[in-house]
């Protein structure tokens, strides 16, 4: 009898838990963005920005998961040392690329739209951003409260790199991926 | 001297159809995917809950567009890169140096506003009648209230703000016409067979090109007709360069990066 009353309660609790997770993801993303913008504002020397942003980004972005997915199926054939090397290079590339998007004195105007729970700790936080007079749709994909992908105007960062790194893996295996990442990282800006 | 003038004129005339609209196309270019991508993503999302193999997981499975002409495309991509580096980027830099951003924004707004028939016709052809109405509302508000579209007062009206882009290629996609092979077009950059035909549709529907198209056979008498399409190209070059750079700058393989971004961005645009 008690169970009969409990059941609807349990059913009601599930979406509540999901919505709590959704709200938390959005709050966390907002905190991350605020922190990043504060660091960018404080850093007058643009060359130093990637290193200044690194600790903040590492707090909010799961670079290991990002790298794993950016490499794709070939990842299993990487030795732990190769995985570590790839992850380090990939995070450096992403942080540098991201830092390059900031123009001193420019502030993005971000509108956070209702987040969507995809189950298994996954939440998509869609945002709409106006930066330097242009409008962009940006979706942050979060897992366990960490950003694992950014989708700008429909283009997933991870999917975009996967198409490139998978091709490198097919050509030259794990070493091919690592040397291509090394080349991209060492390319002068 | 005369010879050089003539060559320049011929070059400009020849390049005009290619150059016009190139910005918008390249912008999309930089950023576009296919219906299959969307479908696969859907399936991937379904799997997401159960799949344990992280590296095989999910979102990142957006498939590339088929590229049987890769060798030729890579060649065109290389040529484009040279054209961008030595011609378009200096032009873009000069333009942004000469005109402050608010002025450039106003010019962009006006050109986008004039493109209203492209959006209206394609909304209608896709059966998006409500959107076609919104586009009309936006056009009227921006033309009348925004001094010929230089300003965009419609953006402060919620129902008219941020309407997704519509173009002929999206109409073809909606009708079920597949992408066909991936194509890198000279100057314009990433496209597909279907989208190239769509581009011609957009070109014909854009009033900025109408005088040029109308006097195509006798343009020597109406040299001015080249001015609107060329201005359109010029004003859109900075955005095109910015998009190109953001896609290729930190890429491992710029060619694949541009192709993937193009196919993903297009698939997303088709969904809206």
In chain B, where are the structural domains located? 21-43+66-271
- The answer to whether the CB atoms of A159 and B101 lie below 8 A apart is no
Give which of B250, B259, B263, B266 to mutate to test A binding, by max A Cβ within 10 Å.
B250
Helix (H) or strand (E) holding A138: strand A134-143
Q: Which residues of B touch A155 (CB under 8 A)?
A: 31, 260-261, 264-265, 268
CB B155 within 8 Å of CB B145? no
Residue-wise pLDDT for B42-51, tens only, equals 444 444 433 4
With a pLDDT cut of 70, the percent of chain B lying above it is 76
* Cα three-residue angle B243-B98-B22, rounded to 5 degrees: 35
Give which of B40, B49, B60, B101 to mutate to test A binding, by max A Cβ within 10 Å.
B60
pTM of the model: 0.82
Which among A108-112, B27-31, B37-41 has the top mean pLDDT? A108-112
Residue-wise pLDDT for B170-205, tens only, equals 999 999 999 999 999 999 999 999 999 999 999 999
For residue B231, what are its two tokens? 């201005």
Predicted pLDDT at A103: 81
Average pLDDT over chain B, rounded to an integer: 82
- CA torsion sign for A164, A168, A173, A178 is negative
- Domain containing A68 equals 2-186
Give which of B59, B77, B182, B259 to mutate to test A binding, by max A Cβ within 10 Å.
B59
Residue-wise pLDDT for B101-155, tens only, equals 999 999 999 999 999 999 999 999 999 999 999 999 999 999 999 999 999 999 8
For residue B74, what are its two tokens? 């890579």
With 80 as the cut, is the pLDDT of residue A73 above it?
yes
Arithmetic mean of pLDDT, A139-154: 92
With 50 as the cut, is the pLDDT of residue A150 above it?
yes
Distance (Å, whole) CA B72 – CA A71 = 27
Predicted pLDDT at A56: 93
- The answer to whether the CB atoms of A122 and B267 lie below 8 A apart is no
At A187 the three-state DSSP class reads coil
Distance from CA of B201 to the nearest CA of A (A): 23
Q: What is the ipTM of this complex?
A: 0.87
Q: What's the CATH number where A26 sits?
A: 3.10.450.710
Task: Identify any residues that bridge with A61 across adjacent strands, giving them in sequence order.
Answer: A147
Q: Which residues of B touch A72 (CB under 8 A)?
A: 55-56, 60
Predicted pLDDT at A4: 61
In which band, very low, low, confident or very high, does the pLDDT at B162 lie, cut at 50, 70 and 90? confident
- Residue A14: count other Cβ atoms within 10 Å of its Cβ: 9
Predicted pLDDT at A7: 58
Arithmetic mean of pLDDT, A23-51: 88
Distance from CA of B250 to the nearest CA of A (A): 6
At A3 the three-state DSSP class reads helix
Average pLDDT over chain A, rounded to an integer: 87
Q: Which residue of A has its CA nearest to B106?
A: A133
Predicted pLDDT at A135: 86
In which band, very low, low, confident or very high, does the pLDDT at A16 lie, cut at 50, 70 and 90? low
With 60 as the cut, is the pLDDT of residue A163 above it?
yes
Arithmetic mean of pLDDT, A103-124: 86
- The answer to whether the CB atoms of B261 and A69 lie below 8 A apart is no
- CA torsion sign for B200, B204, B207, B213 is positive
What are the b/e assignments for B145-182, b being 16+ CB within 10 Å?
Answer: ebeebbbbebbeeeebeebeebbbbbbbbbeeeebbeb
């Amino acid at each position: 009898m008690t169970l009969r009353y409990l059941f609807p309660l349990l059913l009601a609790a599930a979406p509540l838990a999901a919505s709590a997770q959704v709200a938390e993801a959005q709050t966390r993303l907002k905190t991350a963005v605020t922190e990043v913008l504060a660091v960018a504002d404080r850093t007058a020397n643009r060359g130093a920005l990637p290193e200044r942003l690194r600790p903040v980004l590492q707090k909010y972005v799961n670079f290991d998961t990002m790298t794993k997915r950016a490499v794709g199926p070939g990842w299993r054939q990487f030795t732990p040392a190769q995985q570590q090397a790839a992850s380090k290079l990939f995070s450096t590339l992403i942080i540098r690329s991201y830092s390059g998007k900031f123009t001193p004195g420019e502030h993005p105007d971000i509108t956070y739209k209702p987040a969507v729970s995809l189950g298994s700790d996954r939440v998509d936080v869609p945002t709409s951003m106006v930066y330097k007079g242009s409008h962009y749709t940006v979706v942050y994909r979060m897992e366990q409260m960490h950003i694992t992908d950014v989708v700008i105007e429909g283009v997933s960062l991870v999917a975009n790199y996967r198409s490139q790194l998978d091709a490198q893996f097919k050509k030259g295996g794990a070493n091919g991926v690592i040397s291509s990442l090394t080349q991209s990282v060492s390319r002068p800006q | 001297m005369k010879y050089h003038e003539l060559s320049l004129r011929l070059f400009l005339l020849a390049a005009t159809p290619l150059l016009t609209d190139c910005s918008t196309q390249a912008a999309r270019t930089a950023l576009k995917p296919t219906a299959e991508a969307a479908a696969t993503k859907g399936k991937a999302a379904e799997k997401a809950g159960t799949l344990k193999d992280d590296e095989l997981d999910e979102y990142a499975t957006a498939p590339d567009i088929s590229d049987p002409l890769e060798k030729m495309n890579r060649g065109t991509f290389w040529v484009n890169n040279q054209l961008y580096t030595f011609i378009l980027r200096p032009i873009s830099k000069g333009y942004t140096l000469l005109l402050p951003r608010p002025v450039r924004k106003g010019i962009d707004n006006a050109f986008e506003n004039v493109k209203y028939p492209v959006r209206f016709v394609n909304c209608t052809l896709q059966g998006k009648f409500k959107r076609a109405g919104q586009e009309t509302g936006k056009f009227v508000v921006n033309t009348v209230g925004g001094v010929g579209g230089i300003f965009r007062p419609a953006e402060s009206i919620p129902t008219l703000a941020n309407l997704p882009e519509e173009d002929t290629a999206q109409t073809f996609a909606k009708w079920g016409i597949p992408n066909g092979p991936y194509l890198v077009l000279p100057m314009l950059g990433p496209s597909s067979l279907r989208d190239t035909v769509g581009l011609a549709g957009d070109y014909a529907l854009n009033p900025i090109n109408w005088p040029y198209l109308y006097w195509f056979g006798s343009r020597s008498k109406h040299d001015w007709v080249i001015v609107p399409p060329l201005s359109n190209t010029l004003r859109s070059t900075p955005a095109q360069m910015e998009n190109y750079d953001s896609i290729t700058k930190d890429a491992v393989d710029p060619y694949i990066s541009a192709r993937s971004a193009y196919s993903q961005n297009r698939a997303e645009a088709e969904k809206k």
